[in-house]
Structure 1
């Protein structure tokens, strides 16, 4: 039967009433159709079919009820939608039978709609509400709904409501209750309470459900949304949302039942329980967005409102086969982000929260936040996958925080542990019970401004994941963290303590064999008043100023130890800081500037020094047991001030990313156990006045400011090379081998100067000294070594009086003598490959004692500034290639003298004990005015002319041995007396001048022509 008009329908129903039972009246009664092409057909007394040919239709019903054995079916075109507006004067619509449709149905009854226990709804989509919508908005696709002032009906479901895949079931009223089953797989389920709301679609898919106005104060229900049944939308979304104008509701949302939106394939489930700033939400049932089928991940759960309470039976599950999902209760991370923050957030002991990765992948993210207070006493797991993946992230935070009995597990079987993050106002960590709260009717109320975390509970949770405690100032709390009692755990998890103000560790120890410890005091200081901190590969980090209230030892195994700010003793009582690790130790701030440390001892790992000053004042000083890297951001040299204590670099010392300098200030011993600048040269190196021990083999400085300066006595424990880039190396005190084992000394300085202010090798001789620099080398004290070689075109200034070597001495650069100097070798050569002069007009004596070693003057001697007395003793050959100017010359020993340079001039006498050979015509001159002598007592050879010229005073000329020469000229001065003693053999011409004022005597075996003038 097709009914087109209201009057026909009424007539038919009246007729039916006269002949059939009362049950017939349960079927809906149509008033009119205001839009669309619709026909009604009652196929039997218990079945009504509504056929809609238009895409949209609006039906106004006089009544709309369906008895237990009755059914109503809407036959609609694809994507068709029917607005069914029910006259509220009929009262609550009661549906006990079957309601079905091929498309979407909207049921509007301001008086309310009741789906009984026997009801079953099978639709494409269903919106059931007490809020009305205008015909115009409906027809234009604007789904704006508003409650009528005089009606405040409820929507209650105790039956079964099922939407097709991708469909929607939305129940919206002042109060909505579900005690039955609602299912919309791959689609959406909405239970909503508000005065006005808007539904937005994209084609047939729900985009958003927005409450535009909260419930008014005259709403009748104490609970806006109540679910004790089952809401199932696998692969879809479930939204429970309620807003009220004031705190008039006992509860905005009460969730005792089951909400399931498990992930399907790549579509993750979503559950949202959304209240407003006036709402209280209680969860005692199950929220399930798990993805436990292969290749699925966990979905997301969001619970927001003013006062949130999860009871002991609450279960939230966002675990997934390939990764955990997201659970946010009370807000985003640290209360930041778009979500509404809860004021109070309480979870009872027994509640279970899961965001695990099951097979593989990372654990999920779980956030519990309360602006005023958070009391979390349940359990949370966000574990990495069994086959691989890292642990997840968990936050339980509030200005006031209680975590008594809380259990958090972010472990990972084959990955990194995740983190448990706590963010109260003030917190203490002690053996006291975890609380400071009262709890009633689902509300957590802190009794003080300081939360306490029980150490045993903290240790238990660290056994299954990282834990972070962060405080911020709020209420009367300053944001302090105080660790009163010791903490110990054994897992590879990290404890992070971040105080908004001060962080104080009074516990005697914090200990973990494989995890880590991170300390931060954002606006205060980190007080280390406990003696021992032990961590593992996770390392130790202090991000803010550290104050030592006692001697502190930090042990990190292979982990890093990092200080990102200053370190000081907490008072004038200096404290010892001892680090033990093979990992990197980083110092970013000044150490001991306010209150010095007693000592600083590092582990065997690299110490990265980014600090400009390190100050200690104890007897232990500074001990760097591993490599040191100077990595300051500024080129200003770092100052290591140990007072009277030692400074010990047991391993290498280098610059970091750029060349940087080091200044040591101490009267104690400074030890360099490894190479300095071998990887990246230092910019400068200055030592203190204490002794310096160099055992590392090389000391390298780049193009710095001052090069290397050693202000205390230096000893070499290894053969050592000193290198600079055109910068000086200065030894302001002595230089020795550290033991009787002689150590080689090599300097390669470019154009840099080399200065030995004190004696070199006087206590323990050096081995070979090799000096390579074009700058000036100054030897102020005595020098003793195995050998000495200068190899560049610089100048060597010898002011110390004695250079003694067992081996050869070779001066390839110019030499000047600032003092009378004795050169001694043990039967080894002494060579001057360049010039030799006094350093000023004051003539300096030159003494050579060489045993059988040869002496060679390649360049001029005394040409610029004459030498004083030259005294040469050796049995080896003395070779003179250039001119010689000196006060006198005495050649002792049997060694020959080879004169290849043309002239030797002395103001005093000259004496040659050994044979003399001439490599060129040669003049020997006595240039003084006093009595002088010139003696050549042995053979003279070479075939060249020899001229002997006397002084202006009395002269004695003595020649002996065999002469194999050209002409011999002996020139005296007429003003003095000239004595000639000739006892020679050989044939050469003689010219003797000024003989009339002297005598000629002791002539034997002299042949050749004589000429006298």
Structure 2
């Protein structure tokens, strides 16, 4: 009696999973077969012997109406079809959901349509060329015409798999319903697995291969859920849902394993598409990796209105010969039109996104992106993002964390290369402050699914930046616009950025839409590292650069596209200083500056240094193009002045100014002065010592 009670309770739960609205039916007999089959169109015969039902089809397409379509645990249904491109449509007229507890086989493709739901039980086994199991309807005429549009009937049925569904090589498994759940195993090697939750689905084929599904009509309580295993190595996995009422509830939820690894040169793809409402919740494992020698990683994309990658989740697109792509919330810089931009993204602590090359080759691309045009768009990253180059050779890849607001406190990552050039991490908010401790008022939060930013300025921890630089990963902080809503488009360095490791070299780029304020020191220790400082990318008249603490790097590049000034109150130490500020007055007059060579394009330029370095440290004003040190020429519309406080000034190329003032050209040297050809109203003097050499 206890056994029967448990069995009955278990079946009741399974039946409710198929359809909450349909009448709950009793478990079917172990030898149960489909009943009342009638061939509506096409040519086929239906024959049963004991617990086996054979459908022999001689036409390429055939449609059959069934009174019931149930397969008991000891029963078998065989579709014998002309070829792999043959299709049988099975329309079920029952008021209850279909129960597939036994086995179904087909050398071609099988469609099962039951508005009240389809359940594949725990021990069921389906082996077909292709399978569509759906609660949606397709007319016989459309089916025979080769159309593949399925539309809901208003029933609340579900499609649930607890067994094993396997397609032939290059085939497909598609489950289409308002609610789709996988608690079993789904296999389609080099083929397609598609789970779609909506009220209308368009399926696109290329011959016998399913190319993609498009969900067209939202439905109440849409849900795609995977709890176990989906595998389509060398193929495509699509989870797609469109909800009519979800705001903060999940429309896609993965807690199992989804695998689409590379086979030879066929890279796998995994696509999670949640539409414009609800949360895409990513747990478990998504893997599109190149496991075998010589293979590259595939592509994983997860997007929707809101995307939550939970703690413990692994999204992996690694490759022995090159990393793939892990894209959460959008493509790189949101530029991929095939990937919807999410409005909010959260990568939880303990989650890992990995697109590294393993043995050889370049690291791939990892993106956490939310819509920068959305006034509430937020990207919160606390997990680990990896895009390393191969251990035996290959450059590092690229990582991006972008959104109108971003919060990356606690995040970690690596795009370095053991035997190649390091990659980069791009931070791309609309306003940012680089700080030493998490600023509570500036941290975005999605606690209890509120998904709302707090404060106007995004924050990045200086320790996160220095950790990346020390590992050989270059860092770019880009503020592309103000975004409005109280955002200024500025970058402020409020905590020191000190690269400790001299090797490998890495670069740091700070690029602001308006102003760049350096309130704390920046040091790049790498022998080839470049510090790029940029302001005024929006051509704002307010754009300026204020260097209010010491900066040190092999190369310092200063660009201001606006007309605001470039000033300093602390020294610059650089072997190479490059300045481009055609609308700006540049004043870098700290006498402790240590500058080797200079290239400049400015409205006016004033630079002082403590002493000459090899072939020239200089002070100047005017619009200049060239290098002092290894000078390639200086041209100005304004005044030019070059000065060395204690050292030599060597100018071995032409200097030209069109200014007619009496101070149009001044060359000052504390030790020796050597100039090439010059023109204009010139004044050449040596107030610090007697040794002046003029050379034309």
TM-score (norm 2): 0.85
Asked if residue 525 in structure 1 is aligned to residue 528 in structure 2, the reply is no
1:341 to 1:382, Cα distance in 2 relative to 1, 3 A:
same
Q: Deviations over 1:755-790 (max 9, x none)?
A: xxxxxxxxxxxxxxxxxxxxxxxxxxxxxxxxxxxx
Question: 1: distance between equivalents of 2:543 and 2:144?
Answer: 66
Question: 2: distance between equivalents of 1:455 and 1:586?
Answer: 29
Q: Deviations over 1:848-896 (max 9, x none)?
A: xxxxxxxxxxxxxxxxxxxxxxxxxxxxxxxxxxxxxxxxxxxxxxxxx
Question: 2: distance between equivalents of 1:212 and 1:608?
Answer: 66
Question: 1: distance between equivalents of 2:333 and 2:614?
Answer: 39
Q: Which residue of 1 aligns with 2:206?
A: 202
Q: CA deviation at 1:402?
A: 0.5
1:610 to 1:324, Cα distance in 2 relative to 1, 3 A:
farther
1:333 to 1:607, Cα distance in 2 relative to 1, 3 A:
farther
1:577 to 1:562, Cα distance in 2 relative to 1, 3 A:
farther
The answer to which structure, 1 or 2, has the higher relative contact order (CA under 8 A, 6+ apart) is: 2
Q: Which residue of 1 aligns with 2:482?
A: 473
Asked if residue 451 in structure 1 is aligned to residue 458 in structure 2, the reply is yes
Q: Does structure 2 retain, via aligned residues, the 8 Å contact 1:540–1:560?
A: yes
Question: 2: distance between equivalents of 1:434 and 1:406?
Answer: 15
Asked if residue 576 in structure 1 is aligned to residue 571 in structure 2, the reply is no
Q: Which residue of 2 aligns with 1:928?
A: none
Question: 1: distance between equivalents of 2:117 and 2:617?
Answer: 75
Q: Deviations over 1:676-713 (max 9, x none)?
A: 44xxxx4626531645999xxxxxxxxxxxxxxxxxxx
Q: Which residue of 2 aligns with 1:940?
A: none
Q: Deviations over 1:381-415 (max 9, x none)?
A: 10111122111111101111110110110001122
Question: 2: distance between equivalents of 1:249 and 1:110?
Answer: 27
1:466 to 1:508, Cα distance in 2 relative to 1, 3 A:
closer
Question: 2: distance between equivalents of 1:136 and 1:611?
Answer: 81
Q: Does structure 1 retain, via aligned residues, the 8 Å contact 2:89–2:112?
A: yes
Q: Does structure 2 retain, via aligned residues, the 8 Å contact 1:375–1:444?
A: no
* Alignment partner of 1:462 out of 458, 469, 476: 469
1:688 to 1:231, Cα distance in 2 relative to 1, 3 A:
same
Q: Does structure 2 retain, via aligned residues, the 8 Å contact 1:307–1:345?
A: yes
Q: CA deviation at 1:597?
A: 5.9
Asked if residue 128 in structure 1 is aligned to residue 133 in structure 2, the reply is yes
Question: 2: distance between equivalents of 1:603 and 1:566?
Answer: 28
1:597 to 1:628, Cα distance in 2 relative to 1, 3 A:
closer
Q: Does structure 2 retain, via aligned residues, the 8 Å contact 1:508–1:529?
A: no
Q: Which residue of 2 aligns with 1:590?
A: 603
1:602 to 1:226, Cα distance in 2 relative to 1, 3 A:
farther
- Match of 1:589, SS state, is strand
Q: Which residue of 1 aligns with 2:631?
A: 628
Q: Does structure 2 retain, via aligned residues, the 8 Å contact 1:649–1:674?
A: yes
Q: Does structure 1 retain, via aligned residues, the 8 Å contact 2:316–2:354?
A: yes
* Alignment partner of 1:75 out of 74, 77, 80: 80
Question: 1: distance between equivalents of 2:523 and 2:28?
Answer: 80
1:124 to 1:642, Cα distance in 2 relative to 1, 3 A:
closer
Q: Which residue of 2 aligns with 1:40?
A: 46
Gaps of 5+ in 1: 1-20, 615-623, 695-713, 724-1013
* Alignment partner of 2:444 out of 437, 444, 453: 437
Q: Does structure 1 retain, via aligned residues, the 8 Å contact 2:304–2:340?
A: yes
Q: Deviations over 1:173-231 (max 9, x none)?
A: 0000001110101000000011111112121222331112222xxx3x4x510111111
Q: Does structure 2 retain, via aligned residues, the 8 Å contact 1:542–1:565?
A: no
Question: 2: distance between equivalents of 1:579 and 1:184?
Answer: 65
Q: Deviations over 1:504-531 (max 9, x none)?
A: 1111444433433222222443433433
- Match of 1:462, SS state, is helix
Q: Does structure 2 retain, via aligned residues, the 8 Å contact 1:404–1:434?
A: no
Q: CA deviation at 1:318?
A: 0.8
Question: 1: distance between equivalents of 2:399 and 2:515?
Answer: 24
Q: Deviations over 1:315-339 (max 9, x none)?
A: 1111111111112111123333412
Alignment of 1:753-792 (within 5 A): none
Q: CA deviation at 1:357?
A: 1.1
1:541 to 1:99, Cα distance in 2 relative to 1, 3 A:
farther
Question: 2: distance between equivalents of 1:188 and 1:357?
Answer: 25
- Match of 1:441, SS state, is helix
Alignment of 1:128-527 (within 5 A): 128-149=133-154, 151-215=155-219, 219=220, 221=221, 224-247=223-246, 250-338=249-337, 339-371=339-371, 372-433=377-438, 436-464=443-471, 465-471=473-479, 472-474=481-483, 475-489=485-499, 490=501, 491-514=504-527, 515-521=529-535, 522=537, 523=540, 524-527=542-545
Q: CA deviation at 1:99?
A: 1.1
Q: CA deviation at 1:32?
A: 1.0
Q: Does structure 2 retain, via aligned residues, the 8 Å contact 1:587–1:610?
A: no
Alignment of 1:676-691 (within 5 A): 676-677=675-676, 682=677, 684=679, 686-688=681-683, 690=685
Q: CA deviation at 1:104?
A: 0.5
- Match of 1:460, SS state, is helix
Q: CA deviation at 1:555?
A: 2.5
Q: Deviations over 1:102-137 (max 9, x none)?
A: 110001001000011111111111011111111111
Q: CA deviation at 1:544?
A: 4.2
Q: Does structure 1 retain, via aligned residues, the 8 Å contact 2:610–2:645?
A: no
1:613 to 1:101, Cα distance in 2 relative to 1, 3 A:
closer
Q: Deviations over 1:492-511 (max 9, x none)?
A: 22222222221111114444
Q: State the number of aligned residues.
A: 645
Q: CA deviation at 1:138?
A: 0.8
Q: Does structure 2 retain, via aligned residues, the 8 Å contact 1:630–1:661?
A: no
Q: Which residue of 2 aligns with 1:947?
A: none
1:362 to 1:414, Cα distance in 2 relative to 1, 3 A:
same
1:98 to 1:689, Cα distance in 2 relative to 1, 3 A:
closer
Q: CA deviation at 1:565?
A: 4.8
Q: CA deviation at 1:234?
A: 0.3
Q: Which residue of 1 aligns with 2:62?
A: 57
Q: Which residue of 1 aligns with 2:23?
A: none
Q: Which residue of 2 aligns with 1:640?
A: 640
Asked if residue 110 in structure 1 is aligned to residue 115 in structure 2, the reply is yes
Question: 2: distance between equivalents of 1:187 and 1:64?
Answer: 26
Give 1 or 2 for the bigger CA radius of gyration.
1
Q: Does structure 1 retain, via aligned residues, the 8 Å contact 2:28–2:70?
A: no
Question: 1: distance between equivalents of 2:642 and 2:620?
Answer: 18
Question: 2: distance between equivalents of 1:303 and 1:478?
Answer: 31
Question: 1: distance between equivalents of 2:297 and 2:162?
Answer: 29
Alignment of 1:538-557 (within 5 A): 539-544=556-561, 547=565, 550-557=568-575
Q: CA deviation at 1:26?
A: 2.2
TM-score (norm 1): 0.60
Q: Does structure 1 retain, via aligned residues, the 8 Å contact 2:514–2:544?
A: no
Q: Does structure 1 retain, via aligned residues, the 8 Å contact 2:233–2:268?
A: yes
Give the structure with the larger strand fraction. Answer: 1
Q: Deviations over 1:713-755 (max 9, x none)?
A: x9766xx8x66xxxxxxxxxxxxxxxxxxxxxxxxxxxxxxxx
Q: CA deviation at 1:63?
A: 0.5
Q: CA deviation at 1:96?
A: 1.2
Alignment of 1:937-948 (within 5 A): none
- Match of 2:141, SS state, is helix
